[in-house]
Structure 1
Amino acid sequence: MKNEALKDLFGDSWYSRIKFDGITGRYLTISDIELVNESFEKYFEITEIGRSVQERPVYMYKLGSGKIKVLAWSQMHGNESTTTKAVVDLLNAFKEDVSNEVFSLILKSCSLYIIPMLNPDGAQEYTRVNANLVDLNRDLQNLSQPESRILKMQYDLIGPDFCLNLHDQRTIFSAGNKPKPATLSFLTPSKDKERSIDGFRKKSMGLIAGIAEDLKAQLPEQIGRYDDAFNINCAGDTFQNLSTPTLLFEAGHFPDDYEREAVRKYVFRALLSCLYQIASRNDPGSNYEDYFKIPENQKLFNDIIIRNVEVDSELKDVSIQFKEILLDAKIEFQPVIEKIAKNIEKFGHREVDGGRRKLRLLGEEKVVENVIVNKIFLNTAELQVKYG
């Protein structure tokens, strides 16, 4: 670990103590944030900074008194809640362990402005977009939506020295071309079409490289990097274009963790690493070249691959991808056949050897792509493919 001061804070027993157990799972709404507010209102400055399309409140937390200003926001996409859980864990850590030298330094050096849920309408419906069906992360130039305007207004008012843009990614991503899921991914967005690397962008690259170094022992070969193609409509590209070092965090998949309760722990540690570096490093960009050592993400995973099964009298592989469905205030992972082929050259988070047995569905239903599969049989033996 590069930052030895973080070593004790990266232990599982310590994390279990500060983890905020009041919110769990994938489905988080503004009601959860208001529950968090009740727990923290005596400790932090909490402000309603605007309202969504459907008049739900958007809150911002302010903590710390330092000169370095950091603006962070989560759930810009309503169905991406893992980083919200990690942010709440971070707030709880500041509340429970404020005397720790790491937290003391961060609060002394930095002023943190945290928006835990920018898109409460999308969160309510568990959708990427807002109530007007607009992707807020493509609206930072048009500013057509109230939530986009809220974020840009806070950016203008605060004048942050760093921005942290917090998201989730799908289970399909690998860290490079190896059978390792991208449990965490990062990006320092481009500031122009030429993908120029100036001093501001070097700072965000150096911070990401530092995070990867701090977490590499816990997530060996499970940290990826996104392509930096420029899109000025995105929040990160907009703020980087305005010479604010911006880091995109993406919470991905950890084995058998579809509720992303393990991943929230690693996002928490990544946030802690980032903030400690911001507070303690005089030149965050000094190691920026290490950023390019992080492997680029590739789309090499399916949730399940059943190999070597008979379909239409031929031996084939069958890949299944879960579709996330909101049902009774809970996320269901609906198995859908994505591909049937002689050799699927992807990795499965779960791989099943079919042993040349015949794959069939319930009744006489034909095995085809793009169908929901509630039950699968290999000859007469039922194969459980539904998660949970």
Structure 2
Amino acid sequence: MDLRTLYSKHKQEDLFGRYIPPEKIEPLLLHYKSKFEIEVIGTSEEGKKIHSIKLGSGDFKIFMWSQMHGNESTTTKALFDFINYLKSDTEEAKIILDKFSIKIIPMLNPDGAERYTRENANKIDLNRDAQNRSQLEIRALFKVFDDFKPNLCLNLHDQRSIFSAGKKNKSAIISFLSPSADENKTITPARQLSMQLIANMAIKLDKQITEHIGRYDDEFNLNCVGDTFQSMEVPTILIEAGHFPEDYQRENTREYIFHSLLYLFNSINLTKDSLPEVSAYFSIPENKKLFYDILIKNVKISNKIESLDVAIQYEEQLVNKKIVFIPKIVRIEDLNGFYGHKTFDALGEKIQINNDESLKIGMRVNELLIGEKKISF
């Protein structure tokens, strides 16, 4: 069975879109209780339960967590798709469960998930709390880490639509990172293994999303969870779900996260010598912030200056339990070398936004006219 068919068969259909609050995953946990071990590992700062799912009985232990940032839900959806696959009676799923012990925290930050915010209820970025461990959510994560003693960690996130895969006009659909273990970015044995595993995933994914795979910045920050675990000589991989063209609900990206997980589990069975060289990891293009959601080129701003470019970015807002994408002007200048997920050329003419030719940074775009043409988003 090919991967696309496999994904379609096991996709958790009732998880859809960007807003995945705790109320959407709790019924799923009850559904899995008959086959897998469900445990409450702690509570959020507002008292919401944080759950883990234990799957498999093998010697190699993998620890995975998602929605450390509450508004980063794509990998949570993909995790449930992957759990559905492991719940199936296929021979391949049985082999994985026999070879691996897997511990998953599908939603580390339920307060942030409910609010659709990056931070938790105390406005703390949990991925900057690895040293202080001031928040209940991070203490729960580290307790699982200490008790489970994983051989590999997967730190699962979303990244904004601003990121490109290198300097080309290619959005970063998926980005990977082998976090640094120290300020010198030393390639320790743990970091080397995570690099090789990432390279293997990237090589296979590139056949599906060619040139849309990025490598995230590896600047060392011990306050980050991945850097901390890597410094403790536990191989750690960060996966960032990014922007597939016109896929603001991240449903296409979700599928490729699912594929990545399958590639990863298959590659762990390989010997180090049969995995790609570390150089293959560094050949993955580094993320750049080169994209805007909408880019209007060659706009006449006034009679006194040459034409400039207008960049519009969506601001995500939670309204009635749905995410609304609000377009706002973020830059008015020469943006040569930048790209738009949608690009228009004003050909040196003025444009009207909300029936107004005076453009300002921060302006909300309700209606856009380029000449006589009305532009829909």
What TM-score do the two structures reach when normalised by structure 1? 0.93
Question: Following TM superposition, by how much is the alpha carbon of 1:362 offset from its aligned partner in structure 2, in angstroms?
Answer: 2.0
- The aligned counterpart of 1:208 is 198
Matched letter for residue 100 of structure 1 = E
1:165 partnered with 2:155: yes
- Identify the match of residue 119 of structure 1 among 103, 106, 109: 109
- The aligned counterpart of 1:4 is none
Q: Secondary structure at the match of 2:85?
A: helix
- The aligned counterpart of 1:266 is 256
- Identify the match of residue 99 of structure 1 among 74, 90, 99: 90
1:289 partnered with 2:279: yes
Q: Which moves more between the two structures, 129-138 or 287-296? A: 287-296
- Cα deviation 1:107-143 (Å, max 9, x = unaligned): 1111000000000000010000000110000001100
Mapping 1:113-192, distance limit 5 Å: 113-192=103-182
- Identify the match of residue 241 of structure 2 among 251, 256, 260: 251
- Identify the match of residue 338 of structure 2 among 334, 341, 346: 346
C-alpha separation in 2, matches of 1:157 and 1:357: 64
Question: Following TM superposition, by how much is the alpha carbon of 1:379 offset from its aligned partner in structure 2, in angstroms?
Answer: 3.0
- The aligned counterpart of 1:18 is 10
C-alpha separation in 2, matches of 1:143 and 1:203: 27
- Identify the match of residue 321 of structure 2 among 322, 326, 329: 329
Q: Which moves more between the two structures, 374-383 or 127-136? A: 374-383
Question: Following TM superposition, by how much is the alpha carbon of 1:366 offset from its aligned partner in structure 2, in angstroms?
Answer: 2.3
Matched letter for residue 312 of structure 1 = S
C-alpha separation in 2, matches of 1:52 and 1:365: 48
- The aligned counterpart of 2:311 is 319
- The aligned counterpart of 1:78 is 70
- Identify the match of residue 33 of structure 1 among 25, 29, 41: 25
C-alpha separation in 1, matches of 2:20 and 2:134: 25
Question: Following TM superposition, by how much is the alpha carbon of 1:195 offset from its aligned partner in structure 2, in angstroms?
Answer: 1.0
- The aligned counterpart of 1:47 is 39
Task: Tell me, yes or no, if the aligned pair for 2:355 and 2:367 is still in contact at 8 Å.
Answer: no
C-alpha separation in 1, matches of 2:97 and 2:350: 61
C-alpha separation in 2, matches of 1:116 and 1:317: 41
Task: Tell me, yes or no, if the aligned pair for 2:351 and 2:357 is still in contact at 8 Å.
Answer: no
Question: Following TM superposition, by how much is the alpha carbon of 1:343 offset from its aligned partner in structure 2, in angstroms?
Answer: 4.4
C-alpha separation in 2, matches of 1:345 and 1:178: 9
Structure 2: give runs of 5+ residues left out of the alignment: none
Runs in 1 of length 4+ with deviation above 3 angstroms?
none
Question: Following TM superposition, by how much is the alpha carbon of 1:374 offset from its aligned partner in structure 2, in angstroms?
Answer: 1.1
Give the number of equivalent residue pairs: 374
1:241 partnered with 2:216: no
- Identify the match of residue 224 of structure 1 among 197, 214, 218: 214
Identity, % of aligned pairs? 46
